[in-house]
């Protein structure tokens, strides 16, 4: 994301418009429809709904796609706007604990079951010098941050980040500065965090009150270095040459760490980068933002997840190919370490406005987010780590004021999937009517994913009905296995796609639990228009 203009590059080398057009060519898949009735959750819709359409969904606990890595439910906090200061960390606030962490934010974040947390950027990291932000807070230097044009006090640094991860129950994931940072800074950061003691930087950590090493496992080798908006932007060859040296010294310092190379999802970047780094890294990153201001139309925006899925596939194909050639097993995996939808993007209007990324999300955006989560689960063999960008205030699921917080619409699907997904992803067959888009072919109204917990024999089916004009009635076929009665259903919807949560109406879009009356091996369910349905039940046997 370019902090000065309206550009956002998911892929270097293409303009965003070209990229969207190219990816749209790929289109999606199948067709058709049929079925009957089920349960209706919301009555008060803005307009009279159109007649329901019909669809078919088939799933089978034996048709498994792979395991879902818990790291799929990671999040991201960056020194951007009020994400850290005034969000995660708010010294002096009545809502903060003695160390300065906002208790209300922490409580809301804990409910998201965040498995790993990425920090300190994003673009910010490419100008960040971690040594500025350790030790006594009052003597830490304040700096001007050239990524987001804001003053950085450095009062939240490595020790505060680790303390936050501990409170949250999340693994820390630190990205190092490959922009204007040095090899020494990177290896010393690993030393500060992970070395047991007896060396200058490990003893510095001890001196600052942290006797035990932090054992930070996940480390990123730079952020979006392919973009000219990045401090220290490089071409693929220059990044690869330099990243190999970063990776070497970081792993020499602690061979147990796992490294994420800076990828883009574009083979022209990822391939040369991985060919140089394949022996040194465990993951290659990719990012995706669907920018609603560019796509504008409701169906175009929701179809935009196809572009994210295409990026996942491209990243995975390059990683598999290069790993296979190098006989690296397990292969390098994809770390989808930034993904989100950008709505009402005020970037570029006022470069140093600290509120410029405080985006309000609506129901449509929650549908997008659930569809993106379906895509991540469907591609669980490729994507082994992912980070929603971001947690608090800036392009975030939680929004704070000095006196309280608001859960954005997008908070709710994330909470549902992160808490209720089973460990194995299933291959769901969907045959449903389609909508037309200019950029992404003709996706089906219904987008689904499913997970299975073998131990509990529990199946969970997630279905996003993107049709805004009316419901879709689906026949759910369980391929011979039988759903036990007594399942649970969760629904996220709202009066219209534009519905937003506000302090006056904080639950305009939220999760409600319904009774699931389905039982047996074949039944019907009515998926309300513009909604997310989560159906969970045990199977007999
Ligand atoms: O998440 C906001 C920004 O988007 C990140 O700093 C950057 O990596 C991306 O472009």
> How much is the pLDDT for 480?
87
> How much is the pLDDT for 1?
60
Work out the pLDDT band at 11, boundaries 50, 70, 90. very low
Compare 165 and 14 and report the one with higher pLDDT.
165
Q: Please state which of the ranges 12-16, 57-61, 124-128, 410-414 shows the lowest mean pLDDT.
A: 12-16
Which residues line the pocket of ligand 1, CB cutoff 6 A?
A: 1, 78, 121-123, 223-224, 338, 389-390, 395
- Measured in angstroms, how far is the CA atom of residue 56 from the centroid of ligand 1? 39
Probe ligand 1: pick from 74, 123, 173, 223, max atoms within 8 Å of CB?
A: 123
> How much is the pLDDT for 25?
25
Displacement of CA 11 from its chain's centroid (Å): 17
Q: What is the pLDDT of residues 506-522, one digit of tens each?
A: 999 999 999 999 999 99
Ligand 1 atom, smallest distance to 121 CA: 6
pLDDT tops 90 at residue 138: yes
Burial of 114 (0-12, 13-18, 19+ CB in 10 A): buried
Q: What is the pLDDT of residues 376-387, one digit of tens each?
A: 999 999 999 999
Work out the pLDDT band at 353, boundaries 50, 70, 90. confident
Work out the pLDDT band at 288, boundaries 50, 70, 90. very high
> How much is the pLDDT for 48?
82
Query: Which residues are known catalytic residues?
Result: 224, 338
Q: What is the largest CA-CA distance in the chain?
A: 72
| Nearest-angstrom CA–CA distance, 359 and 473 | 33
- Measured in angstroms, how far is the CA atom of residue 315 from the centroid of ligand 1? 18
Q: Please state which of the ranges 24-33, 264-273, 479-488 shows the lowest mean pLDDT.
A: 24-33
Q: Whose CA is nearest to atom 5 of ligand 1?
A: 122
Ligand 1 atom, smallest distance to 227 CA: 10
- Measured in angstroms, how far is the CA atom of residue 269 from the centroid of ligand 1? 18
Phi, psi dihedral angles at 370 (to 5 degrees): -65, -40
> How much is the pLDDT for 349?
61
Q: Name the percent of the chain lying above pLDDT 90.
A: 87
Work out the pLDDT band at 44, boundaries 50, 70, 90. very low
- Measured in angstroms, how far is the CA atom of residue 390 from the centroid of ligand 1? 9
Q: How many CB atoms lie within 10 A of CB 314?
A: 22
| Nearest-angstrom CA–CA distance, 260 and 176 | 10
Work out the pLDDT band at 3, boundaries 50, 70, 90. very low
Phi, psi dihedral angles at 237 (to 5 degrees): -65, -45
Q: Tell me the domains of the chain and their CATH numbers.
A: 16-35+71-304+326-370+388-396 (3.20.20.80)
Work out the pLDDT band at 7, boundaries 50, 70, 90. very low
> How much is the pLDDT for 501?
98
Query: What mean pLDDT do residues 363-369 have?
Result: 98
Work out the pLDDT band at 347, boundaries 50, 70, 90. low
Query: What mean pLDDT do residues 405-421 have?
Result: 98
Work out the pLDDT band at 526, boundaries 50, 70, 90. very high
């Amino acid at each position: 994301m370019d902090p000065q203009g309206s550009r956002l590059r998911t892929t270097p080398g293409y303009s965003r418009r070209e990229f969207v057009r190219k990816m749209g060519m790929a289109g999606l898949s199948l067709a058709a429809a049929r079925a009957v009735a089920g349960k209706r959750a919301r009555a008060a819709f803005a307009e009279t709904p159109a007649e329901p359409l019909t669809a078919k969904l088939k799933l089978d606990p034996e048709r498994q796609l792979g395991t879902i890595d818990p790291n799929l439910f990671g999040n991201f906090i960056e020194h951007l706007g009020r994400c850290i200061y005034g969000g995660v960390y708010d010294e002096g606030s009545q809502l903060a604990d003695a160390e300065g962490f906002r208790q209300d934010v922490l409580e809301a974040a804990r409910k998201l079951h965040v498995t790993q947390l990425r920090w300190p950027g994003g673009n910010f990291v490419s100008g960040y010098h971690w040594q500025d932000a350790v030790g006594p807070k009052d003597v830490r230097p304040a700096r001007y941050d050239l990524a987001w044009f804001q003053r950085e006090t450095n009062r939240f640094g490595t020790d505060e980040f680790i303390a936050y991860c501990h409170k949250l129950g999340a693994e820390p994931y630190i990205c190092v500065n490959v922009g204007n940072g040095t090899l020494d800074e990177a290896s010393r950061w690993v030393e500060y965090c992970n070395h047991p003691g007896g060396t200058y930087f490990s003893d510095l950590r001890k001196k600052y009150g942290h006797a035990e090493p932090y054992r930070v496992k996940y480390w990123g080798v730079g952020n979006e270095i392919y973009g000219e908006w990045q401090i220290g932007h490089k071409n693929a060859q220059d990044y690869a040459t330099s990243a190999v040296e970063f990776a070497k010294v970081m792993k020499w310092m602690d061979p147990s760490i796992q490294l994420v190379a800076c990828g883009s999802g574009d083979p022209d970047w990822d391939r040369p980068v991985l060919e140089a780094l394949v022996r040194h890294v465990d993951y290659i990153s990719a990012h995706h933002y669907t920018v609603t201001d560019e796509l504008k139309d409701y169906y175009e925006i929701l179809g935009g997840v196809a572009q994210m899925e295409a990026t996942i596939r491209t990243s995975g194909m390059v990683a598999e190919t290069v790993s296979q050639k190098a006989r690296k097993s397990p292969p390098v995996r994809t770390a989808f370490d930034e993904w989100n939808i950008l709505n009402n993007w005020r970037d570029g209007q006022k470069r140093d406005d600290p509120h410029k990324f405080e985006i309000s999300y609506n129901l449509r955006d929650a549908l997008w987010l659930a569809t993106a989560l379906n895509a991540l689960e469907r591609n669980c063999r490729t994507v082994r780590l992912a980070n929603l960008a971001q947690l608090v205030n800036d392009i975030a699921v939680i929004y704070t004021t000095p006196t309280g917080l608001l859960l954005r619409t997008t908070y709710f699907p994330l909470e549902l999937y992160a808490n209720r997904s089973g460990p194995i992803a299933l291959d769901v067959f969907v045959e449903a009517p389609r909508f037309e888009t200019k950029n992404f072919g003709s996706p089906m109204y219904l987008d689904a994913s499913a997970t299975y917990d073998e131990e509990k024999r529990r199946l969970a089916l997630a279905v996003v009905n993107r049709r805004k004009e009316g419901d879709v009635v689906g026949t759910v076929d369980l391929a011979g296995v039988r759903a036990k009665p007594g399942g649970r259903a969760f629904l996220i919807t709202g009066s219209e796609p534009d519905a937003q949560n506000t302090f006056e109406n904080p639950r305009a879009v939220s999760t409600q639990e319904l009774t699931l009356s389905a039982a047996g091996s074949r039944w019907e369910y009515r998926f309300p228009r513009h909604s997310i349905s989560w159906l969970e039940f045990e199977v007999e046997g």
